[in-house]
Chain A
Amino acid sequence: MTVTQDRVVVEERPATPIDTSGRAAGAAVDHQTQRAPSRLRSRMTALAFGALGIGVVVGLWAIVAATLAPDLPTPIDGWNALLDLLASPFSAGGPTDQGIALQLGTSLGRVLRGFGWAVVVGVPLGLFIGANRRAWQTANPVVQLLRPVSPLAWFPIGLVVLQDAPGAAVFVIFITALWPIVLNTAAGAASVPADQRNVARVFRFGRVAYVRHVLVPNAMPSIVTGLRVSMGIAWMVIVAVEMLSGGSGIGFFVWDSYNAGNVANVIAAIILIGLVGVVLDMLFMKLGKRYQTEGVTP
């Protein structure tokens, strides 16, 4: 089957060459056009090895569950729990009996709110301290001191200030997302090439024109990197912070399932959390690619 498909592809390629007129990343495209017939095969190979990796982990898990840890659910238990959870994802029994999609949605909403605030605060702040040496010198000690602190340490502060556990969770996400955004944005803003700064000086750009046409475009790839990094960490931290805040969200669900002795649900939740994380990361990667290809000046 694969072989015949490959053959068809081989015959088609010379008649309809892949679009080489575009200005897309030259070397990589050439490489692909030359190797076009084997592209499908290499993709299949990649998939096979990916499946192998998952298989190995599931196999080890089965062995551990069968020998070392009899309390650990087997892969089959985990799979069944996952199917069970996905059978009624939107059921809303009581405040603590929410479908898995609702729990994930609650967590995602908190992450997006905290992340949104971090963008609103972090990007302008990063641009400012990246473009201004004195501002950098002022902000740097504070940032360096607070950056290595686990965001969870801010949870009590959030509780005291906001008097509200879910609000405090959002606040923790805000703190989590803030540092990568500020630091990456500042690094991008500080790396405006000298010739572009000279253009702005010679042609006497005003502040607004400088920010709009020179500073932000140059910082954009770094900003997107910062967003991607902080979103990844935020999604990790939300699980932990919801174990503290309780009541709702996927982190609460994990902790609640453990307390109810339902470890199979914990495993199912881990898989779903991972999947959502992958989707989030892919979205930001796409955004990043757009800015990278547009920003290129040969």
Chain B
Amino acid sequence: MSLEVRNVWKTFGARRGSAEQQVLRGLNLAVGGGEFISLIGHSGCGKSTLLNVIAGLLETDDGEVLLDGSAVQGPGPDRAVVFQNYSLLPRLSLFANVREAARSTRAKSERARADERSERYLRAVGLWEHRNKRPHEVSGGMQQRTAVARAFAVEPRILLLDEPFGALDALTRARLQGELTELWQNESSTETVVMVTHGIEEAIYLADRIVVMGNAPGPSIVEEIPVPLPRPRDRKTMIDDPVYRATYERLMDVLSAEDVRRN
């Protein structure tokens, strides 16, 4: 499924103590089917805003988001989101959290299939034994895994991730990154992934292309950096790969230049 963001403008109104902010400034972005995109940039550059616009949670002031050529009107079953702060429903068990999402807006006759999918993805993230626990009874990593399983259980064409692993410790983050790639490549029909991240290594390790976003008043997209590393990627050997090193340096240069320009 192809995704096209066409000349999107989004301004947040002035609040007490802060002026009006032009967060997205005529942003254009084309994402091909099967592509993994990382959105990276300094705080306030609008990367989460862009993700919410694609998800249909925010309306644009101008411009549009096209999925296979038709404009996005709101959230839809073709897109699922993994939120930054897990956002599980606190009163439901882990399994019920996945199941309710998989079932919603589907006909009753499809329930059995939805439940089957819920089980499959909860198993895939290794949480089947913990299925009856409530979110507050498990670690942050397990909560985020549940959120990942929930997103995949909807069988979206496009997966949107908003700094999904930012709050986790390094080891858990590395494991979840691996699980995510595995699910995306081998276990699901989800083609396209757009991920917001702060992590430079995470961006390179996961993405086919890194989109660097900048703060106002410059252009929304500063640079697009392809990551021509072959898949499957091995975290350990990858860092010695000259392609990785070159990508890393280029990304650092762009981000530092943006930092200098900003101050």
Once A195-B83, A198-B83, A294-B91 are accepted as A-B contacts, the answer to whether A206 and B57 lie under 8 Å apart by CB is: no
In the complex, A202 has a CB within 8 A of chain B = yes
Nearest chain A CB to B8 CB, angstrom units:
19
Q: Bound state CA distance, A72 and B136, in angstroms?
A: 58
Which listed segment binds A: B99-107, B173-181, B229-237? B99-107
Which listed segment binds A: B13-21, B73-81, B122-130, B194-202? B73-81
Interchain CB contact (< 8 A) of A209 among B80, B88, B100: B100
Residues of A within 8 A of B81 (CB): 198, 202
Residues of A within 8 A of B100 (CB): 203, 205, 209, 213
Nearest chain A CB to B12 CB, angstrom units:
15
In the complex, A43 has a CB within 8 A of chain B = no
In the complex, A296 has a CB within 8 A of chain B = yes
**B58-79 Cβ-contact flags toward A at 8 Å (1 or 0):** 0000000000000000111101
Nearest chain A CB to B104 CB, angstrom units:
5
Residues of B within 8 A of A36 (CB): none
Interface size on B, residues (CB 8 A): 27
A297 touches B90 (CB 8 A): yes
In the complex, A286 has a CB within 8 A of chain B = no
Nearest chain B CB to A117 CB, angstrom units:
27
Nearest chain A CB to B174 CB, angstrom units:
23
**B20-62 Cβ-contact flags toward A at 8 Å (1 or 0):** 0000000000000000000000000000000000011100000
In the complex, A204 has a CB within 8 A of chain B = yes
In the complex, A9 has a CB within 8 A of chain B = no
User: Whose C-beta in chain B lies nearest to the C-beta of A220?
Assistant: B91
A195 touches B85 (CB 8 A): yes
Q: Bound state CA distance, A199 and B104, in angstroms?
A: 12
CB within 8 Å of B: which of A159-204?
195-196, 198-199, 201-204
A201 touches B57 (CB 8 A): yes
Once A217-B90, A294-B91 are accepted as A-B contacts, the answer to whether A203 and B80 lie under 8 Å apart by CB is: yes
In the complex, A17 has a CB within 8 A of chain B = no
B89 touches A206 (CB 8 A): no
In the complex, A236 has a CB within 8 A of chain B = no
In the complex, A31 has a CB within 8 A of chain B = no
CB within 8 Å of B: which of A189-245?
195-196, 198-199, 201-206, 209, 213-214, 217
Residues of B within 8 A of A296 (CB): 90, 136
Residues of B within 8 A of A213 (CB): 89, 91-92, 100
Q: Bound state CA distance, A26 and B80, in angstroms?
A: 35
In the complex, A7 has a CB within 8 A of chain B = no
B89 touches A217 (CB 8 A): yes
The interface centre, meaning the residue of A294, A295, A297 with most chain B CB atoms within 10 A of its CB, is A297
Interchain CB contact (< 8 A) of A202 among B57, B90, B137: B57
Interchain CB contact (< 8 A) of B87 among A23, A198, A209, A294: A198
Q: Bound state CA distance, A203 and B153, in angstroms?
A: 10
B77 touches A204 (CB 8 A): yes
User: Whose C-beta in chain A lies nearest to the C-beta of B52?
Assistant: A198
Nearest chain B CB to A292 CB, angstrom units:
12
B91 touches A205 (CB 8 A): no
Q: Bound state CA distance, A205 and B83, in angstroms?
A: 16
User: Whose C-beta in chain A lies nearest to the C-beta of B92?
Assistant: A213
A199 touches B77 (CB 8 A): no
Residues of B within 8 A of A204 (CB): 75-77, 104-105
In the complex, B117 has a CB within 8 A of chain A = no
B154 touches A203 (CB 8 A): yes
Residues of B within 8 A of A199 (CB): 83, 87-89, 101
Q: Which are the 5 A-B pairs with shortest beta-carbon distances?
A: A203-B101, A217-B91, A297-B90, A195-B87, A204-B105
Known contacts A203-B75, A296-B90, then 20 further A-B pairs from the complex at CB < 8 Å, ordered by chain A residue: A23-B136, A195-B83, A195-B85, A198-B81, A199-B89, A201-B56, A201-B57, A202-B57, A202-B75, A202-B79, A202-B80, A202-B81, A204-B75, A204-B77, A213-B89, A213-B91, A214-B89, A217-B90, A294-B91, A297-B90
Q: List 7 A-B contacts (CB under 8 A).
A: A23-B136, A198-B57, A198-B87, A202-B55, A205-B100, A205-B104, A213-B89
